[in-house]
Structure 1
Amino acid sequence: MGTIRIHVLHCGNLNFDEAAAFHENTLHPMPYSGILRSKRHQINVPASAYLIEHPKGLILIDTGWHTDIRIDQKKYLGWLYSLSSKAYLPSGQAIHEQLHKLGYRTSDIDYLFISHLHPDHVSGLKLVKDAKKVLTSSIELRDTKKHPLLYLPFMWRDVNLETFDFENAEYDLFGDRSVVFVNTPGHTNGMASTLVQNNGKFVLLCADTGYSKKSWEEMILPGMLTNNKKAMESLKWVKQMSEKPNCIEVIANHDPNVEPHIIEF
């Protein structure tokens, strides 16, 4: 196979309580909400997306924030999300703006994959809704009804959002294992990490399985979970993958230590 190139993009950022990223044992019932917590617990993290230039097609993973947050964030996200976090989208960082800078139209995207449907991952979807195929897992879409407070369905309303089923916890996009969506449940039940493989090496885009490198190095779960046991199993898998000699990088979506860059292999 030819060369694969991955563009690591920051499509805005967000401020929230550090307990949302790194689980804390505390008397506070919901420390990740930031309510009744000091501002010193606030952290700033990127909302990442990934453009994969693959010999078999152009693939976009997640979308970051929509430009509407620049206008009226409280109206766009609602009071609950605006209470627990603050979103920012500097000029030029919206996903369609970044694609344009790279020389692409949004309609050039062959596959747009949403790792999970939380707002910071799917907000920018309508900016790239003319991608040829928009995908998320069937488990994830189904769980938006089971856990309605965690999702904002207007973000994908009127978009031709298709679903796929995992087979043995995987969905092999091209059938050659070069791009595999791996179910890593815990943060959400239908969340998938993206495993990109070529020439005997791989890159793992682990979504919110962990919030930074220290998550799997120190085995710290995210603060918001749907299933603690599955979350720990998923994080252990990420750790194991990170230790393989043919691993180029493992990247968490919100790692503040990861700068925009290009991986080519």
Structure 2
Amino acid sequence: MRIHAIQTGTVAIKARQVSGKGSGSLRLINTILDKEWTEPLPIYVWVIEHPEGLIVIDTGETARAAEPGYFPWWHPYYKSVREAMRPEEEIGPQLRTLGLSPNDVRWVLLTHLHTDHAGGLHHFPKSQILVSRAEYQAARGFRGQVKGYLPQHWPTWFSPTLIDFAPEPFASFPQSYTLTKAGDIHLVATPGHTLGHYSVILQENDHVLFFAGDTSYTEQLMLEQSVDGVTSNIAVYRETSRQILAYLQSTPTVYLPSHDPDALERLVTRKAALPVSAQRVSGAKTEAHQWRTEKKTHAPC
């Protein structure tokens, strides 16, 4: 197998979104009103050249995010996001530079449906796209827009395969779904950042790669059990974080959140999150394919 890390632009968010303050609706208000911004964070997409087919985890952002009117003017959250993205940074063109075609992708695994993870959907009309049923139902229609999703920008052909996570424990996770016949890739329910969020676990020799989506913005925040500033259910978020930490403590794990600036290096070196997995085994060949933005273009809100 080969594993590729592809950066599809950057996003800067409020500092309180990374680690929140307050409870209930006050938590989101504190995030929106925060005057401190993060540095531009990467928007990573992960590509697995698997024997059973080409797999893409999340689709990154679209360059359309820079167009006037892409983000709804009436939604206060989008005043808390600054994205930088060029057309050539989208997932489709970047796959082609690797000698891969979007049409050859068998599975697209969407950890959740926020635009920086689903904006590149239009590149994959021939792929099987897997979304949790809970996430899809939460993101649809005007109610989805109120919650911060952008279903109005989904391709007209978008009809994902909906995953109902069975009560089949996988290590510390009570709900899971096995993707491959080889049994080396599992989807595990990790609600918290969104209601239907899931993560992807790839077994690689005697360690695993944990494609975390937005279960936390950095590895350190997960180790600290910090809670983000946009979750609607702190208790669920904390329980998911507890399950992930228990997994990191029991299994040699390379933890890869989508916006962690250090995730690329950890993937290349196979650096595990905790000392339990200090012995690194170099498994699949990794090719880091990372675009660097030369000019920042902030999406209007």
Tell me which interval the TM-score lies in, with the shorter structure as reference length.
0.7 to 0.9
Contact 2:133/2:162 (8 A) holds in 1: yes
Could you tell me how far 1:8 is from its partner in structure 2?
A: 1.6
Q: Normalised by the size of structure 2, how large is the TM-score?
A: 0.78
Q: Tell me what 2:161 maps to.
A: 162
Number of equivalent positions: 255
| Aligned residue among 174, 177, 193 for 2:180 | 174
Following the alignment from structure 2 to structure 1, what is the Cα–Cα distance between the partners of residues 8 and 53?
22
Following the alignment from structure 1 to structure 2, what is the Cα–Cα distance between the partners of residues 237 and 256?
23
Following the alignment from structure 1 to structure 2, what is the Cα–Cα distance between the partners of residues 243 and 64?
29
Q: Work out whether 1:227 is the aligned partner of 2:221.
A: no
Greater Cα offset, 83-92 or 13-22: 83-92
Percent of matched pairs sharing the same residue: 25
Contact 2:28/2:229 (8 A) holds in 1: no
Contact 2:12/2:37 (8 A) holds in 1: no
SS in 1 for 2:13: strand
Instruction: Flag the 1:198–1:17 CA change in 2: closer, same or farther, 3 A.
Output: same
After superposition, the C-alpha distances for 1:78-114 in whole angstroms (9 at most, x for unaligned) are: 2235412111114532101110111011101000111
- 1:238 is matched by which residue type in structure 2? I
- 2:242 is matched by which residue type in structure 1? K
Unaligned 5+ segments in structure 2 are: 168-174, 271-282, 285-301
Q: Normalised by the size of structure 1, how large is the TM-score?
A: 0.88
Contact 1:213/1:255 (8 A) holds in 2: yes
Contact 1:8/1:48 (8 A) holds in 2: yes
Instruction: Flag the 1:28–1:111 CA change in 2: closer, same or farther, 3 A.
Output: closer
- 1:144 is matched by which residue type in structure 2? A
| Aligned residue among 74, 81, 86 for 1:85 | 81
Instruction: Flag the 1:210–1:105 CA change in 2: closer, same or farther, 3 A.
Output: same
SS in 1 for 2:120: helix
- 1:142 is matched by which residue type in structure 2? Q
After superposition, the C-alpha distances for 1:171-216 in whole angstroms (9 at most, x for unaligned) are: 1112443111100011111100000013232110111111101111
Q: Tell me what 1:134 maps to.
A: 129
Following the alignment from structure 2 to structure 1, what is the Cα–Cα distance between the partners of residues 252 and 215?
21
RMSD: 2.2
Q: Tell me what 1:76 maps to.
A: 70
